[in-house]
Chain A
C-alpha cells in the first residue's frame, strides 16, 4: 500500500466486515493481495454481533433454563430455591463470546495482511471510496471492490423502534431483564427463534403473523411440531393477522390487530419485537457514483462470480438477492476473492442449507417434496420419527423426524430435511450427500454410529428402500 497525497492505493477495497466481507478479506490476503477492509462498527457484522451468535447464545441459555424443569423425572433434584435468569449476567457472558470472536477475526485479518479501517465507506467513483471516521475523511483508490454492507431490520412506517418498548432484533438481544410479556410482529425464523427463547425464560409471548401459519417459507410438515411446541410453551400465535397500529400507553405497548376471523383487537404487552424482514444496506454508499445498479428492492444483482454490472466491483451477502444467511455470505465472499485472485471460482450449487433454532430445530437442504414434484420429478420419500431412536429417548428429545426425498428413477437424493433436537448439526450430512450427488443407498449403506441422532438419516434412507429396521415399513 502506498500512501499518496490524495488517495491510499490498494488492490482491493471491501466495504463491510460481516461474515461475507471478512471471509473475502482473509481469502484475498491468502492470495497475496493488498486489501483494505472498511467496517463502521464491529468486525463480524450482524452475524457475530447482533445475529447468529448472540441469538444462539440466548437460545442456548433459555434451553438450559427450561431444561431444569424437566430434570426431575431423570432423578435430578434441584434445591428448592426458585431458578432465576439474570439477563444482565447473560449479557456479559455473550459479550465475552462475541469479543473473543471479534478479536479472532481481527487477528486473522492481521496475520493475512488485511488492513482494517474503521469508518463509514462510500463510493466516490468507480475506482475510489471515501471513508469517514469520527470527522476524518480519507480516500482510497482501488483496482477492485467488494460490497458487503449487509442488511438491517425492516421497520414499517407506522412503527417506531425506540429500543425500550418497541424493539428490533438487535435491541431484543441487548435486554438486561427478561420481559414479562412480549409481542412479536412476524413469525419468520428470527421471530420464532427469539420468541421461543423468551417463552422458555418465562415471558408471555404473542406472535402475530400475516400468513396463515408461522414459518411460512418452510415446508408445512416440518413446521407442525414447532407450532405444537410453541403452544406448549404458552405462546399465543395469531396467524392471518395484521398489525394496524402500535402505540405506547402507560409503559405498555398496545398493538391494534385485525384479522378476517377475529376482526379487530388490541394486544397489550410490556415490549414488542418487530421482525418482519430485513432490507439491504445499499442506499447510502454512493452506488450511483460507481455505476453499480440495484434492483427493485435495493438488492444488487450479481452473476455466479459475484460480479455486479460493473465488472471490477463485486457484491456479496445480504445485499444480493437470495436467502439472507451468514454461510451464503461467506461462500460468496470466498468466491469473489478467488475470482479477483484469478482462480476459477464460482457459485455453482443451488444448495444453501437452512437452519432454524426453534424447539425442536428445523434444518434442511435441497428440494422439499412439493418442490420436487413441481419440478417434474417422480418422488419417493422416506421418513423416520425420532420417537423410535434410542439416543433421542435417552436424551428425552423424541420429537420430530428425518425425511429424505429422492428421485424415484435414479434414487439420487433431491432433498434432506429434519425437525429434531440438534438438527442444525445433523444437516451437515445432508449437505455433503447432496453436493456429492449421492444416492439414497449411499446413506442407507453407510455405517452410522450408534446411538446417535444421525442414525435417523440412515433409517429414513432405508425407509425409502422399504427396509428400515426400527420402524414398520409400509
Chain B
C-alpha cells in the first residue's frame, strides 16, 4: 500500500485546498496519471499517481484544506511493493544537501532516524502501531507511568477512524447529521477524555452550512478603512431631545444604514448577487439590509426591508424591534431572509478589523468595529478623535478593489459630514 502525502508544490507551502478529484476510490490508475487538483495560495497543481495500482482510499473531499505531509489517498500498488516515486525537485535536493533532510512526497513517513524519540512502548507495540498506521506519538498510554499498551492502540484506532470519517467525508458531511452518530452505542465509544462531542445541529448547523457555502463559493477580499465619528456623534446628540420625545433610542446604526443605502445606489454591484446556474449578475434595485445579530443560539441576520424608504427614526425603531425578537427567537422566516447587503456590528464587543464572511449570495458585507478615541494627525498636528474602523468583504468576482474603495470612501464622506448625509437622503 502506498500512501500519497500532500507534497509541498509551492515554495514552502503549509497547506493546500483539494480542488478536484480526477479519480474515485476503486479506480485503477497508471503511473503519472493525474489524480487530484490542489490549489495553494500561489499555484494550482495537478498531482499524479506515483505508481500504477488501484486507488484504495481517498481521505479528503473537494474543498478540504489539507496540511502538507498529510496522506490524502492510498494506492494498492500493482506488485504490492511501493514503486519509486517521482524525482525530487531542485529545492528538495538543496534542502537535503544543507543537511535538512526533507523527504519526497509519498514517503514523508518519518523524521531523520537520529531524531527517533523514545516512546514508552515495547518494540512489539511500536511495530503494531506502524502496522495499524498509527502515529504512536499521538497515543496516550494507559499503562504504568504512561506506557502505551496494545489496547491503547486499539482504542486510538477506533476513535481516530471515526473522527476521520466524520470530518473528512464527502461534500460537507461535517454538517450532516450522521445517523451513525446517533447510535447510542457508538456515541459511548466516542467518549474520550481528550475531546467532547456535540452534535452539530439547529442554528449552529445552519450557520456552518451557510458559512461553508459562502466561503467556498465567493472569493472573499476584505478592505479596511477608518471613520472619524465626532461630527456624527454631535449630530446624534443634537437629535437626542427629539428622539426622547418619540421614545426611540437612537444609535449610530440607522445612520450607517442610510449612508450605505445611498452608496449602494451609486455602486450597484455591491447590492447584487451572481446566479451561478444561469451565469448572470443580478443587480437589485431594492435595498434590504441585513443586520447581523448575536443571539444565544448564534448569529442571526434579521432584515430591514426597503431601508432606502425609511427615515432614521423608523430605522432605529425597526432595528430595536428586530433585535429583541431575534434574542427571543421569535423571528419569522420572512424576517431573516431576502437581504441584499449585510452589516455586521461587532463594535460593542471590540476588535480592530476582521474578515467578515459574506452572507451568501450577497456581494458584500460591512463590519463595524469598536469606536474609540485615538490619536490622529490633522493639519500636521496630533489630535484626539473618536475613530472607528470598518471592514468591507466583497465578492471579487463581481467587484474590483477600486470600486470597493470608492464605495467605502463614499460612506466615509457621508458619515464624517452628517449634513451631506441629510442632504442626500431620500
Contact = CB atoms under 8 A, between A and B. Distances in A.
A305 B107 contact: yes
A307 to B, nearest CB: 6
A321 interface: yes
Max chain B CB contacts within 10 Å: which of A312, A348, A351, A411? A348
B352 interface: no
Contacts of B121: 437
Contact of A293 (B1, B83, B97): B97
Interface string A410-449: 1110000000000000000000000111010000000000
A305 B110 contact: yes
A410 B145 contact: yes
B109 A304 contact: yes
A300 to B, nearest CB: 10
Interface in B119-171: 119-123, 126-127, 130-131, 133, 136, 144-147
Contact of A301 (B99, B110, B133): B99
Contact of B131 (A321, A344, A347): A344
Interface string A288-312: 0001010110000111111101111
Interface in B187-229: none
Contacts of A311: 84-85, 103-104, 106-107
A435 B127 CA distance: 12
Interface string B90-116: 001100110101011011011111101
A346 B92 contact: no
B87 interface: yes
A321 B109 contact: no
B126 A348 contact: yes
Given A302-B113, A312-B84, A307 B99 contact: no
B118 interface: yes
B122 A346 contact: no
A411 B147 CA distance: 12
A309 B87 CA distance: 9
B80 interface: yes
A156 interface: no
Interface string A323-363: 00000000010000000111011111111000000000000
Given A301-B96, A307-B107, A410 B123 contact: no
B123 A304 contact: no
B423 interface: no
Contacts of B120: 412, 437
B117 interface: yes
Contacts of A411: 145
Contact of A306 (B81, B113, B133): B113
Nearest to A296: B99
Contacts of B130: 344-346, 348
A303 B106 CA distance: 13
B423 to A, nearest CB: 71
A143 interface: yes
B63 interface: no
Given A309-B96, A348-B119, A303 B81 contact: no
A223 B426 CA distance: 95
Contacts of B116: 304, 347-350
A322 interface: yes
B82 A342 contact: yes
Contacts of A306: 113
Contacts of A412: 120, 145
Contact of B88 (A309, A332, A347, A349): A309
Contacts of A322: 113-114
A18 B104 CA distance: 28
B111 A303 contact: yes
A304 B145 contact: no
Given A302-B113, A346-B109, A346-B130, A437 B88 contact: no
Contacts of B110: 303-305, 346
Contacts of B118: 349-351
Interface residues of B, number: 43
A302 B87 contact: no
A325 to B, nearest CB: 14
B101 A301 contact: yes
Contacts of A312: 83-85
B183 to A, nearest CB: 32
Interface string B58-92: 00000000000000000000001111110110001
A311 B120 CA distance: 30
A346 B80 CA distance: 18
A203 to B, nearest CB: 38
Contacts of B1: 342
A43 to B, nearest CB: 26
B360 to A, nearest CB: 44
A320 B114 CA distance: 10
Contacts of A321: 114
B94 to A, nearest CB: 9
Contact of A435 (B82, B92, B122, B136): B122
A303 B122 contact: no
Contacts of A350: 116-118
Given A303-B107, A348-B126, A436-B122, A291 B93 contact: yes
A312 B131 CA distance: 21
Nearest to A328: B113
A301 B92 CA distance: 13
A129 B415 CA distance: 78
Contacts of B83: 143, 312
Nearest to B105: A311
Contacts of B85: 311-312
Contact of B93 (A305, A309, A349): A309
A291 B89 CA distance: 11
A302 B112 contact: yes
Contacts of B101: 301-303, 309
Interface in A368-407: none
A310 B103 CA distance: 8
Contacts of A345: 127, 130
Nearest to A345: B130
A439 B126 contact: no
Nearest to A292: B96
A410 B127 CA distance: 24
Nearest to A304: B110
A349 B114 CA distance: 9
Contacts of A347: 113, 116
B75 to A, nearest CB: 13
Contacts of A296: 99
Given A295-B97, A301-B101, A342-B81, A310 B111 contact: no
Q: Which 4 A-B pairs rank lowest in CB-CB distance, beginning with the nearest? A: A304-B110, A312-B84, A344-B130, A410-B145
Interface of A: 126, 143-144, 291, 293, 295-296, 301-307, 309-312, 320-322, 332, 340-342, 344-351, 410-412, 435-437, 439
Given A304-B109, A309-B96, 13 more contacts: A143-B83, A293-B96, A295-B97, A303-B103, A303-B109, A304-B116, A309-B103, A342-B81, A346-B130, A348-B116, A348-B123, A412-B145, A436-B123
13 contacts: A143-B84, A291-B88, A303-B103, A311-B85, A312-B83, A321-B114, A322-B113, A342-B80, A344-B127, A346-B113, A348-B136, A412-B120, A436-B122
